[in-house]
């Protein structure tokens, strides 16, 4: 039977994990061990084990919906896409961009963020070439090409996570908005270990370095799926830049501040995040 949702679900304490999420949890438990380990790391001691398992089942259901929505998007008209996504506080990034600097849009794998961007951007064709997304290559290569082509057709520039520093600096210098997913593990050479959901996590330091070097505002953004199946893409106000005499400490403090923003967004809809990802690889 579908399990009852826990009180950590933001909108309702009566949320249920759909039957297909429960079925996949038991019959096709891809990366279930990783998911449960992550959930226990964050919620252990705060939630009973039954509610943690319920959250895992709801997360499997979210993955199924994510895949179905991505397929459905291909066959929707611009009008249908506009009705599928609600944008909140768009003035935050566009207002900051009008000040003459580029923007770093700080986000993560919340809800169906790719869909929210692709469906939401059509509402503002005048900004079609303003957004550029930095993304890690997806395997297999064919899937990666399909994803990149879809972004480009929607008006997004696409930049690989490695080797794009010069291109990013040029884009920020001419006032573009660079979208950066910030919730994946970073190796020691690329990141710094700072707290995330109560535990040290290797976190990319590139966003802090870019913000400190260029002065570009960092604007958090996240998306989630509403109970009726529609999506919301919300932009928060820019995060304050933390400056200090020690450059290394400045990078660490800003990176921690970004992680805290991502954590805050994650906890609003925890069933819609990537718990299958090995986020915590740093020894406590």
DSSP 123-148: T-GGGTTTEEEEEPPPSSHHHHHHHH
Same domain, 195 and 67: no
Output the pTM of the full model: 0.90
Mean pLDDT of 31-47: 96
Both tokens of 257, joined, read 């501040």
Q: Name the average pLDDT for the chain.
A: 88
- Whether 164 maps to a domain, the answer reads yes
Number of domains in the chain: 2
Q: Is residue 168 pLDDT above 90, yes or no?
A: yes
Maximal CA-CA distance, the chain:
57
**Residue at which a domain ends, from 25, 47, 75:** 75
Q: Are residues 11 and 98 in the same domain?
A: no
122 and 12 belong to one structural domain: no
Please tell me whether residues 140 and 255 are part of one structural domain: yes
What does the block give as tokens for 48? 């009973």
Any domain includes 204: yes
Q: Is the pLDDT of residue 9 over 60?
A: no
What is the distance, to the nearest Å, from the Cα of residue 250 to the centroid of all Cα atoms in its chain? Answer: 24
- Mean of the pLDDT values across residues 48-65? 96
Same domain flag for 222 and 84: yes
Task: For residue 34, tell me if it sits in a domain.
Answer: yes
Instruction: Determine the pLDDT at residue 283.
Output: 63
Buried b (16+ CB within 10 A) or exposed e, 86-106: bbeebebbbbbbeeeebbbbb
Final residue belonging to a domain, choices 75, 100, 133: 75
pLDDT of residue 92: 87
Q: Is the pLDDT of residue 122 over 70?
A: no
Confidence band of 105 (pLDDT split at 50, 70, 90) = very high
128 with 204, same domain: the answer is: yes
pLDDT of residue 136: 79
Pull the structure tokens for residue 67: 């895949």
Statement to judge: residues 164 and 227 lie in one domain? yes
Same domain? For 65 and 96 the reply is: no
- CATH number (domain holding residue 240): 3.40.1130.10
Task: Using the predicted structure, report yes or no on whether residue 1 has a pLDDT greater than 60.
Answer: no
Please, are residues 104 and 178 in contact by the beta-carbon 8 Å criterion?
Answer: yes
Residues 234 and 150 placed together within one structural domain of the fold: yes
Alpha-carbon span 271 to 265, nearest angstrom: 12
- For residue 249, tell me if it sits in a domain: yes
Omega of the bond prior to 275 within 30 degrees of 0, cis? no
Instruction: State whether the Cα torsion 55-227-273-276 is positive or negative.
Output: positive
Model confidence at 161, pLDDT cuts 50, 70, 90, reads: confident
Residue 81: the pLDDT is: 84
The pairing of strands 157-160 and 131-135 is parallel
Q: Is the domain of 16 the same as that of 35? A: yes
In the β-sheet with 231-235, what is the strand arrangement from edge to edge?
85-88, 231-235, 218-225, 103-107, 177-181, 131-135, 157-160
Our CA angle for 206, 256, 187, nearest 5°, is 50
| In a shared domain, residues 258 and 151 | yes
5 confidence band (pLDDT: 50, 70, 90)? very low
Do 256 and 195 contact (CB within 8 A), yes or no? yes
Mean pLDDT of 11-16: 48
CA pair distance 263, 107, nearest whole angstrom: 10
- Statement to judge: residues 83 and 71 lie in one domain: no
Instruction: Give a yes or no: residue 281 inside a domain.
Output: no
Evaluate if residue 107 carries a pLDDT over 90: yes
pLDDT band for position 131 (cuts 50, 70, 90): confident
Range of the domain at 202: 78-272
């Amino acid at each position: 039977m579908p399990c009852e949702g826990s009180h950590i679900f933001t909108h309702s304490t009566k949320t249920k994990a759909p039957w297909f999420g429960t079925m996949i949890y038991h019959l096709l438990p891809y990366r279930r061990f990783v998911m449960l380990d992550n959930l226990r790391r964050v919620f252990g001691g705060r939630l009973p084990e039954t509610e943690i398992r319920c959250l895992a089942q709801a997360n499997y259901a979210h993955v199924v919906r994510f895949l179905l929505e991505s397929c459905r998007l291909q066959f929707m008209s611009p009008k249908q896409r506009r009705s599928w996504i609600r944008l909140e506080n768009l003035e935050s990034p566009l207002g900051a961009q009008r000040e003459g600097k580029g923007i770093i849009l700080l986000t993560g794998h919340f809800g169906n963020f790719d869909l929210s961007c692709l469906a939401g951007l059509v509402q503002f064709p005048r900004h079609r070439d303003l957004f550029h997304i930095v993304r890690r290559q997806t395997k297999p290569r064919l899937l990666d090409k399909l994803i990149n082509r879809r972004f480009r057709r929607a008006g997004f520039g696409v930049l690989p996570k490695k080797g794009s520093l010069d291109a990013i600096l040029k884009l920020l210098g001419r006032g573009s908005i660079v979208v950066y997913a910030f919730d994946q593990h970073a190796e020691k050479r690329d990141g710094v270990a700072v707290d995330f959901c109560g535990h040290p996590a290797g976190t990319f330091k590139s966003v802090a370095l870019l913000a400190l070097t260029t002065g570009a505002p960092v604007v958090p953004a996240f998306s989630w799926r509403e109970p009726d199946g529609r999506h919301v893409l919300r932009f928060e106000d820019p995060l304050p830049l933390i400056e200090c005499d020690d450059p290394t400490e400045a990078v660490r403090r800003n990176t921690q501040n970004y992680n805290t923003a991502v954590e805050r967004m994650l906890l609003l809809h925890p069933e819609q995040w990537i718990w299958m990802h090995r986020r915590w690889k740093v020894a406590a």
